């Protein structure tokens, strides 16, 4: 396109007039075109953009017979000031006495005054003024980061058509460069990292760290680091802090170094509370190294054994694997040892493989056939190798495989049953058997066994869902294990009786109980478990006295009370929570003799200095509550009645009982790294996942909902490209 310039002799000079960024909105004066754009017809007839070439900015206000265009933005700005001063002046006059955040109806009322200056391009200018680009960018970045569309989606013909169907005048205002989009995500990540740091620093609770290691589809070790805390408005919060690549080594020391770097980035080393992770011993190494670094770098005390929280969902899973797979306690011990240094995504597969190998050995080891299996002396079955030896379970599994292997079988199943058939996961079961279906017809007695097994396992499934809920707290960990241990013992007694004797079930129960009890016993090393129970207003001391052995009571309560004495008993009380020791019966008047007489007949006791005390609270009768224990303590009434104890309760009850947060981050990252997007770098993956998580958790609030939204700076979008598009999808 040739560039021509037309200037009216009567055009007033505005060099001495201030030009505001709002009045001289570039998109209202110029449209970006690409005269050198190279396109290619695809096989389906659509036109796919290959190269946009150099940009040309065409003036929207010059007449069609005398167009003006130029490749330089600065020249375009100069042209607008020199040739369209009347339009700029009108915009400035309209905005005098107003602001950028006037009401929508006021903006609507003023728009016709501007459009009067655009008789030749009325439609385009009006439509471009109506385009809310900030809202558009909020939505696009949310689609990429939260909904996990590919970066190439911004170039899809269908995506362009959707936008242009809503507003046909904005083609050049759409983001069509993937690197520019990544720069906007990067700038948004940097902005909200700082905002998240301020939020974490202002938290009224300790910040609890969750971490886990994952092998990504593009074969990189990724460490997810997440946080839980209670913010300054007394609202529980959670967020993904970082997803750094764990290169060259997956050792506990390497993981601890990445965690320390994350704590330093957010300035929260002094606020670190407890660490939640799986049962791998690499977490012991990680926390020991973390303890040394916190001591050496910050002068902080962090007891690695007392600050470690084991994911209760992992414990339940391992216990049920033992129930279904284990042939002996020796096999269980070997399996648990084999998973000690295994990352989470391999832990269950390793556990299964070890149990299966041990089961194969059992078949030929006569000594294993003769040994005793359980704490109550029940004899193990000969050649028992887990669920494969239990005919009903084996047959159900094989039937499921038979149906799933054939689309014809699946179609018949769908027509008859009307439910989608699930199948066991390879990390929990061995799914690859090819047996003839006639060998797997279930007898009536076998259906009864399956029904019994289903009934027995139901509480375990419910318990797993319960601890994964948003309202779950650490006070549930021991109580859930108490219930599940009781479930094991109840059914062992049932199936050991003469009337219901079932040696298979007894053996399975012994194996599951062994694993669950192992981790239950390890909770003694972390006093905060018992403290969480005691600080639950619906449990307190009475729960321990009713459900635990008497010899456990005193040590558990003493260890929990020591936390109170060491960290909270002498803590200063916030001024807003101080309760006056002498409150008049009527505010604003002096205490008199009538008040003395009224106090003689009062039924309420005085405010006691020792009411805010750990032992006083746990000795009180349990209280039925409607919400979670944490929500009960976050209420202002409780914080005012127990100003110090509430701080302890909020710190402890804000600890999650399991690590599903990091599991969900890995699930999200797996969907982001679909098979056609595995060239994405780990650094970009981390930023995409963090921004998506922050949008999901409400840390990033769109402008349309009253927040700041994402970065929408033109300077960021049109900066020099630093990221090759090949490393985005």
- Burial-class residue 206 by CB neighbours within 10 Å (0-12, 13-18, 19+): buried
Q: What six digits make up the tokens of 244?
A: 């750094």
- How many domains, in total, are found in the chain? 3
pLDDT band at 614 (very low <50, low <70, confident <90, very high): very high
Question: Which residue from 194, 147, 182 is spatially nearest to 684, judged by alpha carbons?
Answer: 182
Residue 613 in domain = no
Q: What six digits make up the tokens of 187?
A: 């700038």
Q: What is the pLDDT of residue 610?
A: 57
pLDDT band at 371 (very low <50, low <70, confident <90, very high): very low
Residues 373, 408: one domain? yes
Residues 126, 152: one domain? no
Higher pLDDT, 322 or 45: 322
Average pLDDT over residues 539-567: 96
Residue 142 and residue 692: Cα distance in Å, rounded? 7
Residues 80, 169: one domain? no
Per-residue pLDDT of 289-320, as tens digits, reads 999 999 999 999 999 999 999 999 999 998 98
Q: What is the pLDDT of residue 584?
A: 41
Question: Which residue from 264, 342, 366, 234 is spatially nearest to 638, judged by alpha carbons?
Answer: 234
CB 693 within 8 A of CB 664: no
Q: What is the pLDDT of residue 634?
A: 95
Higher pLDDT, 660 or 405: 660
Residues 403, 464: one domain? yes
What is the residue range of 1's domain? 1-130
pLDDT band at 20 (very low <50, low <70, confident <90, very high): very low
Map tokens 């915009």 to a residue.
Answer: 91
* Three-state secondary structure call for residue 31: strand
Average pLDDT over residues 237-251: 94
Per-residue pLDDT of 592-603, as tens digits, reads 777 667 666 666
Percent of the chain exceeding pLDDT 90 equals: 50
Q: What is the pLDDT of residue 565?
A: 95
Length of the chain in terms of residues written: 729
550: left (phi over 0), alpha (psi -120 to 50) or beta: alpha
Per-residue pLDDT of 87-137, as tens digits, reads 877 766 655 544 444 445 555 555 545 445 544 444 688 888 889 999 999
Residue 414 and residue 422: Cα distance in Å, rounded? 12
CB 661 within 8 A of CB 697: no
Question: Which residue from 136, 181, 182 is spatially nearest to 162, judged by alpha carbons?
Answer: 136
Residue 643 in domain = no
* Three-state secondary structure call for residue 211: strand
The 3-state secondary structure of 237-293, one letter per residue: EEEEEECCECCCCCCHHHHHHHHHHHHHHHCCHHHEEEEEECCCCHHHHHHHHHHHH
Cα dihedral sign for 332, 338, 343, 348?
Answer: negative
* Three-state secondary structure call for residue 69: strand
Residue 686 and residue 445: Cα distance in Å, rounded? 53
* Range scoring the smallest mean pLDDT among 219-223, 623-627, 700-704, 716-720: 716-720
Residue 633 in domain = no
- Burial-class residue 96 by CB neighbours within 10 Å (0-12, 13-18, 19+): exposed
Residues 396, 472: one domain? yes
Average pLDDT over residues 191-211: 97
Q: In what order do the strands lie in the sheet with 207-215?
A: 236-242, 221-230, 207-215, 272-277, 308-310
Q: What is the pLDDT of residue 366?
A: 37
The CA-based angle 440-403-419, given to 5 degrees, is 115
Question: Which residue from 339, 348, 452 is spatially nearest to 390, judged by alpha carbons?
Answer: 452
Residue 228: other Cβ atoms inside 10 A: 21
Residues 410, 495: one domain? yes
Are β-strands 69-70 and 56-59 bridged in parallel, bridged antiparallel, or unpaired? antiparallel
Residues 4, 143: one domain? no
Residue 699 in domain = yes
Average pLDDT over residues 467-486: 92
Contact residues for 632 (Cβ-Cβ < 8 A; gap 6+): 537, 625, 638
Question: Which residue from 385, 364, 632 is spatially nearest to 511, judged by alpha carbons?
Answer: 385
CB 663 within 8 A of CB 277: no
Q: What is the pLDDT of residue 217?
A: 87
Greatest mean pLDDT range, 60-74, 88-102, 195-209, 361-375: 195-209
Residues 136, 126: one domain? no
Q: What is the pLDDT of residue 574?
A: 72
Of 130, 152, 186, the position where a domain reaches its end is 130
Map tokens 């669950």 to a residue.
Answer: 516
Q: What six digits make up the tokens of 89?
A: 């002046």
- Burial-class residue 123 by CB neighbours within 10 Å (0-12, 13-18, 19+): exposed
Per-residue pLDDT of 42-71, as tens digits, reads 444 444 445 567 889 999 889 888 899 999
Helical (H) or strand (E) element with 224: strand 221-230
The CA-based angle 629-635-638, given to 5 degrees, is 85
Residue 62 in domain = yes
Residues 13, 92: one domain? yes
- Checking if the pLDDT of 228 tops 60, the result is yes
- Checking if the pLDDT of 344 tops 70, the result is no
Residues 96, 114: one domain? yes
Q: What is the pLDDT of residue 46?
A: 44
Greatest mean pLDDT range, 210-224, 337-351, 605-619: 210-224
Residue 537 in domain = no
- Checking if the pLDDT of 647 tops 70, the result is yes
Question: Which residue from 706, 726, 689 is spatially nearest to 144, judged by alpha carbons?
Answer: 689
Cα dihedral sign for 71, 74, 75, 76?
Answer: positive
Residue 24 and residue 504: Cα distance in Å, rounded? 81
- Checking if the pLDDT of 423 tops 70, the result is no
Of 130, 164, 182, the position where a domain reaches its end is 130
Residue 140 in domain = yes
Higher pLDDT, 711 or 347: 711
Average pLDDT over residues 440-446: 77
Higher pLDDT, 374 or 194: 194
Higher pLDDT, 397 or 497: 497
pTM confidence score? 0.77
Average pLDDT over residues 203-215: 96
Residue 601 in domain = no
Q: What is the pLDDT of residue 212?
A: 95
Q: Return mean pLDDT, the chain.
A: 80
Residue 71: other Cβ atoms inside 10 A: 13
Rounded to 5 degrees, φ, ψ at 154 are -70, -15
Of 87, 111, 130, the position where a domain reaches its end is 130
pLDDT band at 721 (very low <50, low <70, confident <90, very high): low
Higher pLDDT, 288 or 352: 288
Determine the straight-line distance between the first and last CA of the chain, rounded to whole angstroms.
Answer: 34
Question: Which residue from 467, 522, 461 is spatially nearest to 487, judged by alpha carbons?
Answer: 461
* Three-state secondary structure call for residue 635: coil
Question: Which residue from 691, 683, 668, 697 is spatially nearest to 184, judged by alpha carbons?
Answer: 691
- Checking if the pLDDT of 488 tops 70, the result is yes
Q: What is the pLDDT of residue 51?
A: 57
pLDDT band at 550 (very low <50, low <70, confident <90, very high): very high
Residues 352, 469: one domain? yes
Q: What is the pLDDT of residue 727?
A: 67
Percent of the chain exceeding pLDDT 70 equals: 72
Residue 100 and residue 134: Cα distance in Å, rounded? 13
Cα dihedral sign for 681, 683, 684, 690?
Answer: positive
Residue 556 and residue 550: Cα distance in Å, rounded? 11
- Burial-class residue 715 by CB neighbours within 10 Å (0-12, 13-18, 19+): exposed
- Checking if the pLDDT of 431 tops 80, the result is no
Q: What is the pLDDT of residue 303?
A: 97
* Range scoring the smallest mean pLDDT among 307-316, 350-359, 451-460, 550-559: 350-359
Q: CA-CA distances (angstroms) from residue 581 to 216, 421, 589, 607, 611?
A: 60, 66, 16, 7, 12
Residues 74, 158: one domain? no
pLDDT band at 40 (very low <50, low <70, confident <90, very high): low
């Amino acid at each position: 396109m040739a560039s021509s310039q037309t200037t009216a002799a009567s055009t007033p000079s505005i060099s001495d007039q201030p030009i505001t960024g709002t009045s001289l909105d570039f998109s209202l004066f110029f449209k970006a075109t690409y005269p050198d754009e190279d396109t290619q017809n695809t096989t389906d007839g659509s036109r796919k953009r290959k190269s946009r070439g150099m940009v040309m900015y065409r003036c929207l206000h010059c007449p069609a017979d005398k167009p003006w265009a130029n490749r330089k933005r600065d020249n375009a700005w100069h042209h607008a000031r020199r040739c369209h001063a009347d339009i700029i002046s009108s915009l400035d006059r309209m905005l005098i006495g107003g602001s950028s955040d006037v009401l929508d109806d006021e903006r609507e009322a003023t728009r016709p005054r501007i459009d009067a200056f655009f008789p030749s391009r009325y439609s385009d200018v009006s439509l471009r003024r109506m385009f809310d680009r900030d809202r558009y960018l909020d939505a696009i970045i949310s689609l990429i980061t939260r909904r996990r569309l590919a970066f190439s989606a911004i170039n899809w013909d269908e995506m362009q058509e959707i936008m242009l169907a809503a507003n046909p005048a904005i083609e050049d205002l759409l983001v069509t460069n993937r690197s520019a989009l990544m720069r906007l995500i990067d700038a948004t990540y940097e902005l909200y990292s700082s905002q998240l740091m301020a939020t974490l620093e202002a938290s009224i609770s300790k910040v609890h760290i969750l971490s886990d290691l994952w092998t990504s589809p593009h074969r990189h070790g990724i460490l997810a680091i997440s946080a839980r805390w209670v913010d300054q408005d007394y609202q529980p919060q959670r967020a993904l802090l970082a997803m750094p690549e764990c290169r060259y080594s997956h050792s506990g020391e390497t993981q601890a170094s990445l965690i320390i770097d994350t704590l330093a980035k957010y300035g929260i080393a002094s606020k670190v509370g407890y660490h939640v992770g799986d049962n791998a011993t690499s977490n012991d190494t990680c926390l020991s190294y973390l303890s040394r670094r916190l001591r050496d770098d910050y002068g902080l005390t962090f007891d690695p054994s007392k600050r470690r929280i084991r994911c209760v969902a992992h414990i339940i899973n391992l216990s049920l694997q033992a129930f279904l797979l284990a042939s002996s306690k020796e096999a269980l011990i070997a399996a648990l040892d084999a998973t000690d240094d295994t990352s989470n995504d391999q832990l269950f597969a390793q556990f299964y493989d070890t149990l299966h190998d041990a089961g194969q050995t059992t078949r030929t080891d006569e000594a294993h056939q003769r040994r005793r299996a359980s704490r109550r002396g029940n004899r193990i079955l000969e050649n028992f190798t887990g669920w494969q030896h239990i005919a009903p379970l084996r047959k159900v599994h094989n039937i499921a495989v038979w149906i799933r292997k054939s689309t014809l079988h699946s179609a018949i199943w769908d027509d008859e049953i009307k439910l989608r058939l699930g199948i066991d996961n390879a990390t929990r079961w061995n799914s690859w058997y090819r047996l003839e279906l006639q060998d797997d017809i279930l007898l009536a007695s076998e259906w009864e066994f399956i029904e019994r097994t289903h009934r027995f396992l139901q509480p375990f499934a419910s318990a797993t869902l319960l601890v994964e809920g948003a309202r779950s707290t650490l006070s549930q960990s021991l109580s859930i294990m108490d219930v599940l241990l009781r479930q094991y013992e109840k059914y062992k007694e049932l199936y050991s009786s003469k009337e219901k004797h079932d040696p298979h079930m007894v053996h399975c129960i012994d194996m599951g109980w062994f694993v669950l009890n192992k981790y239950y016993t390890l909770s003694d090393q972390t006093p905060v478990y018992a403290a969480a129970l005691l600080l639950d207003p619906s449990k307190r001391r009475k729960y321990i006295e009713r459900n635990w052995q008497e010899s456990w009571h005193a040590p558990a309560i003493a260890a929990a009370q020591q936390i109170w004495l060491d960290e909270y008993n002498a803590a200063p009380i916030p001024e807003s929570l101080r309760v006056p020791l002498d409150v008049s019966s009527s505010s604003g008047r002096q205490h008199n003799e009538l008040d003395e007489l009224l106090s003689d007949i009062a039924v309420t006791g005085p405010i006691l200095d020792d009411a805010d005390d750990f032992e006083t609270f746990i000795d009180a009768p349990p209280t039925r509550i409607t919400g979670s224990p944490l929500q009960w303590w976050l209420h202002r009434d409780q914080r005012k009645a127990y100003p110090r104890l509430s701080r302890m309760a909020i710190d402890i009850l804000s600890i999650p009982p399991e690590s599903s947060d990091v599991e969900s981050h890995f699930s999200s990252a797996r969907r982001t790294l679909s098979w056609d997007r595995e060239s994405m770098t780990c650094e970009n993956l981390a930023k995409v996942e963090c921004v998506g998580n922050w949008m999901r958790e409400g840390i990033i609030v769109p402008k349309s909902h009253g927040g700041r939204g994402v970065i929408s700076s033109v300077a960021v979008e049109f900066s020099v490209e630093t990221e090759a598009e090949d490393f985005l999808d």
